[in-house]
């Protein structure tokens, strides 16, 4: 009996997988349609979720952070965003965060400008629930384009427990070697 159900599950997975692959490889879909499928949950959250705090930052403000962690409160059933405005390409935005008392979900979304609609946003890092209450989460994204990089801390999955997120950001400029130290 267990073997039959395993086979049935395997067949279903293979069918769904082939449907997804044939849809993905279909020449009738343009890039925006493919992208829309991948963005669904993050963009829906930004459109209709309950925003707790929006804390806009610039690269200059992050450069002046110092060594101390910052604190962000995310109420239960809400999310908070930290949009970082980037005006030069090639920068690397790095983050370190932890949460208390339990996990938090995290995502990074790129928006070309304030005027761009949420439907035009691109998900750079999909929404991922992080065990940031057990270990420090580290990551980075390279700013290949100017625009707004929105870091999302999502607590909509928690009905009763609010979270504190302790975070620190850094920005690194690209190292451009001009060869001047060679004769």
Q: Cβ of 162: how many Cβ atoms within 10 Å?
A: 15
| pLDDT tens digits for range 33-44 | 444 444 458 888
What is the per-residue pLDDT across 155-177, written as a single tens digit (0 to 9) for each? 999 999 999 999 999 999 888 77
- Would you say 109 and 126 are in contact if contact means Cβ atoms under 8 Å apart? no
SS3 124: strand
Cα distances from 8 to residues 12, 15, 19, in angstroms, run: 6, 11, 17
Share of the chain above pLDDT 90, in %: 62
Mean pLDDT value across residues 1-18: 39
Q: How far is residue 181 CA from its own chain's centroid?
A: 40
Around Cβ 156, how many Cβ atoms within 10 Å?
16
Contacts with 141 (C-beta within 8 Å, 6 or more apart), sequence order: 92, 93, 108, 124, 125, 149
Coil, strand, or helix at residue 49?
A: coil
- The set of residues, in sequence order, having a beta carbon less than 8 Å from that of 17 and lying 6+ positions away, is none
Write out the two tokens for 146.
């100017």
Q: Tell me the pLDDT tens digit for each residue of 77-118.
A: 999 999 999 999 999 999 999 999 999 999 999 999 999 998
CA-closest candidate to residue 106, choices 167, 73, 151, 52: 151
123 contact partners, CB below 8 Å, separation of at least 6: 38, 39, 42, 43, 107, 108, 109, 110
Map out the domains of the chain with their CATH numbers: 31-172 (2.60.120.680)
In this prediction, residues 137-160 reach a mean pLDDT of 97
């Amino acid at each position: 009996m267990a073997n039959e159900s395993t086979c049935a599950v395997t067949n279903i997975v293979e069918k769904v997988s082939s449907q997804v692959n044939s849809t993905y490889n279909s020449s009738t879909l343009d890039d925006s349609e493919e992208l829309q499928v991948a963005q669904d949950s993050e963009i829906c959250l930004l459109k209709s979720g309950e925003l707790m705090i929006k804390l806009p930052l610039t690269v200059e403000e992050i450069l002046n952070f110092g060594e101390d962690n910052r604190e962000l409160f995310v109420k239960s059933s809400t999310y908070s965003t930290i949009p970082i405005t980037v005006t030069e390409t090639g920068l690397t935005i790095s983050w370190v965060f932890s949460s208390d008392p339990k996990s938090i979900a995290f995502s990074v979304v790129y928006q070309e400008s304030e005027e761009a609609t949420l439907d035009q946003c691109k998900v750079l890092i999909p929404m991922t629930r992080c065990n940031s209450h057990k270990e420090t989460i580290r990551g980075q994204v390279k700013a290949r384009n100017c625009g707004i990089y929105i870091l999302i801390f999502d607590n909509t999955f928690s009905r009763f427990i609010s979270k504190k997120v302790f975070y620190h950001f850094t920005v690194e400029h690209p190292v451009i070697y001009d060869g001047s130290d060679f004769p």
